[in-house]
Chains A and B, each alone.
Chain A
C-alpha cells in the first residue's frame, strides 16, 4: 500500500517532469501563434465573395476537422519526414519539433477558422448595413463595426480551442518529439510509481489549463456584447 502512494520518485525525477512540460509549453505557444495566423487566413477565404476561395477554405476545414490528430501527426513524422524527406532543420529534434508544430497548427487552424466564422455570423446584418449606409468603406466597417463585435463574442470558444490544443500536444508522442506524455510513459517504465507519476502530470496539466480557462472565462464575461 505504501509503495502505491510513495511520492519520492516524483521528487527524484522532477527535472525530467519539468523538461516534459517545458516542451509542452514550447509546442503550445508556437502552435497557438501559427494556428491563429492560418485560421485567420482560412476564415478570410471562407467568407470571401469569390466562390473558388470559399470552396478551397471549406475543403480544408472539412478535411482537417474530420481527420484524427494522431493520423495527421503520424503522417508528419512518417510521410513528410521519412518518405518525402522534407527537412526543416538539420538537427533531428528541431526538425521533429517543427513538424509537430505544423501538424498541430494545421489541425487547430480548422477549428479556429470555424470559431471566427461563427463570430462573424453573430453580428446582426443590420449593423453591416447601417455601417455601409453611413458611408464607411469595406475596411472601415470591418475594422470599426464588424470585427470588434465578432471578436468579443468568440473569446470563450477560442479559449476552449486553445485549452484543447494544450492537451492535444500530448499526441505529439507519435511524431517522436519528447514532451510530457512521452516523458510520463518513460517514467512509468523506469520508476514504476504509476499513481504518483500520473498525479504529478495531471496536476501539471491542470496548472496549465485551469488558469487559461479562468482567464478566458473572465475575459469573455468582461467583453461580452450586450444586445
Chain B
C-alpha cells in the first residue's frame, strides 16, 4: 500500500519539453514554427518593457556613478547593509524559535481531550491569525506604557526589537500551531490506534508516534512559514527597529539619495536568503518523501499552508497537497 502510493507520488508529473503537457499536445512541425515566431515576438515585447524601464531610469539619471558609488565603499557595507542584515536575521532567528515553541504548545493544545485547554487554545490561535501583524506589533509596542501609567508604576522598557519579536511569535506561532495540528490530523488513524494498542499513554502516542511523523510531513510548510516570518520582520522598520529595510533602504536613501540602487541591493539580499530557504524546504520535502521510516502516508491536504481563519479544516481536506503547499506564505 505504502509503496504503491509512494511510487505514484515520485512519478514526474510534468512532461518533458517536447512531449505533450496538460495544456498542449506534443507540437508538430507547424506548431513548432509558430512557437518560434511567438518566442521572437515575445522576446521583443519583453525587451521593449526592459528598455522602457531603462529609459525612465536614464532620464532621471539613475545610472550616474554617484548613486552607485557607495556600494563599492566598505563603509556602506559595514555601517548599513551588514548591521541591518544581522538585525533582521537576529529578530527572525529569535522569532522563529519562539514561534515554533508557541506553535507546538498551542497546536497540541487544540488537540487536547480537555475542553478547558482546547477552547482557549483555539480562541488564541484564531484571534492572532485573524488580525494583521502590523496592528499587533503596534499594540505590543504601546500597551505596556499604558498599563504602567494606569497602575502608576515604573514604565517598563519595551524596545522595538521586543515588540517585533513578540508580534512575529504570536502571529507566526498561531499559523504554525495550525500547521502542526493539520499535520497530526493528517496522520492515518491506524498509527495512533496501533500505538494505543501497544499500551502507550496519550503522552507517549503524541510524543513518540504522532509528532515526529507530523513534523517530518509538514517540514516544507514549516520552512515556508519561516520565510514569511523573515519577510515580516521588515515590518520592524515601521516602529523604528533598525533592520535591513531600514538601514539598507531608508538610511541609504537618506544619506546618498539612491533609492533605486538601494532597493535593488536590499531586495536582492532578501530574495537570496528566502530562495535559499526555499531550496532547503524542497530538499527536506524530497528527503522526507524518500525515507519511509519517519513519515506516515498522509491523507492528502495534510501538507500545505493551513486555510485562513473561518475555513474549517475539514472543508479543505480534499484539496490536493500540491495546491496549498505552493501558495503558502503570503
Do A1 and B259 touch (CB < 8 A)? no
- Residue A148, interface by CB 8 Å: no
With A83-B260, A84-B56, A184-B138 known as contacts, the answer to whether A161 contacts B327 (CB < 8 A) is yes
Contact with A along B258-301 (1 / 0, CB 8 A): 01100100110011001100100000000000000000000000
With A71-B245, A108-B330, A217-B316 known as contacts, the answer to whether A201 contacts B234 (CB < 8 A) is no
Instruction: List A contacts of B142 (CB < 8 A).
Output: 188, 194
- Least CB distance from A207 to B in Å reads 10
Summarize A's interface: helix, strand, loop or mixed: helix
- Residue B39, interface by CB 8 Å: yes
Do A49 and B24 touch (CB < 8 A)? yes
For A206, the closest partner residue in chain B by CB is B130
B window 14-35: CB within 8 A of A: 14-15, 17, 20-25, 27, 31, 35
Q: How far is A212 from B310 in the complex, measured between Cα atoms in Å?
A: 8
- Least CB distance from B237 to A in Å reads 6
Instruction: List B contacts of A50 (CB < 8 A).
Output: 35, 38-39, 42
Summarize B's interface: helix, strand, loop or mixed: helix
Instruction: List B contacts of A146 (CB < 8 A).
Output: 22-23
Do A114 and B326 touch (CB < 8 A)? yes
With A156-B316, A170-B135 known as contacts, the answer to whether A217 contacts B150 (CB < 8 A) is no
B window 201-260: CB within 8 A of A: 227, 231-235, 237-238, 245, 249-250, 253, 257, 259-260
- Residue B119, interface by CB 8 Å: no
Instruction: List A contacts of B266 (CB < 8 A).
Output: 71
Instruction: List B contacts of A96 (CB < 8 A).
Output: none
Stretch at the interface among B72-80, B109-117, B181-189, B317-325: B317-325
- Least CB distance from B308 to A in Å reads 4
Do A74 and B249 touch (CB < 8 A)? yes
Q: How far is A11 from B36 in the complex, measured between Cα atoms in Å?
A: 65
- Residue B143, interface by CB 8 Å: yes
Do A214 and B139 touch (CB < 8 A)? no
Instruction: List A contacts of B311 (CB < 8 A).
Output: 156, 159-160, 213-214, 216-217, 220
- Residue B307, interface by CB 8 Å: yes
- Residue A70, interface by CB 8 Å: yes
Instruction: List B contacts of A159 (CB < 8 A).
Output: 307-308, 311
With A120-B23, A192-B146 known as contacts, the answer to whether A78 contacts B259 (CB < 8 A) is yes
- Residue A37, interface by CB 8 Å: no
Do B260 and A170 touch (CB < 8 A)? no
- Residue B155, interface by CB 8 Å: no
Instruction: List B contacts of A157 (CB < 8 A).
Output: 319, 323-324, 327
Q: How far is A118 from B275 in the complex, measured between Cα atoms in Å?
A: 19
Do B132 and A181 touch (CB < 8 A)? yes
Instruction: List B contacts of A53 (CB < 8 A).
Output: 39, 42
- Residue B127, interface by CB 8 Å: yes
A window 72-108: CB within 8 A of B: 74-75, 78-79, 82-86, 108
- Least CB distance from B200 to A in Å reads 35
Do B135 and A85 touch (CB < 8 A)? no
Interface bracket on B:
35 or more
Partner of A210, one of B46, B130, B312, B330: B130
- Least CB distance from A59 to B in Å reads 10
- Least CB distance from B277 to A in Å reads 9
Partner of A84, one of B60, B130, B309: B60
Q: How far is A69 from B38 in the complex, measured between Cα atoms in Å?
A: 33
Do A122 and B318 touch (CB < 8 A)? no
- Residue B305, interface by CB 8 Å: yes
Do B35 and A115 touch (CB < 8 A)? no
Among B46, B132, B325, the most chain A Cβ lie within 10 Å of the Cβ of B132
Q: How far is A220 from B274 in the complex, measured between Cα atoms in Å?
A: 30
Do B135 and A205 touch (CB < 8 A)? yes
- Residue B94, interface by CB 8 Å: no
- Residue B13, interface by CB 8 Å: yes
- Least CB distance from A215 to B in Å reads 8
- Least CB distance from A226 to B in Å reads 8
Instruction: List B contacts of A13 (CB < 8 A).
Output: none
List 19 contacting pairs A-B, 8 Å CB cutoff, sorted by A.
Answer: A50-B42, A52-B42, A53-B39, A56-B46, A67-B271, A75-B259, A84-B56, A117-B326, A118-B323, A118-B325, A118-B327, A138-B24, A156-B319, A159-B308, A168-B132, A181-B138, A194-B139, A195-B143, A205-B131
Smallest CB-CB A-B distances: 3 pairs = A213-B310, A217-B311, A68-B234
Chain B residues proximal to chain A, CB less than 8 Å: 13-15, 17, 20-25, 27, 31, 35, 38-39, 42-43, 46, 56-57, 60, 62, 127, 130-135, 138-139, 142-143, 146-147, 149-151, 227, 231-235, 237-238, 245, 249-250, 253, 257, 259-260, 263, 266-267, 270-271, 274-275, 278, 305, 307-312, 315-316, 318-320, 322-327, 329-330
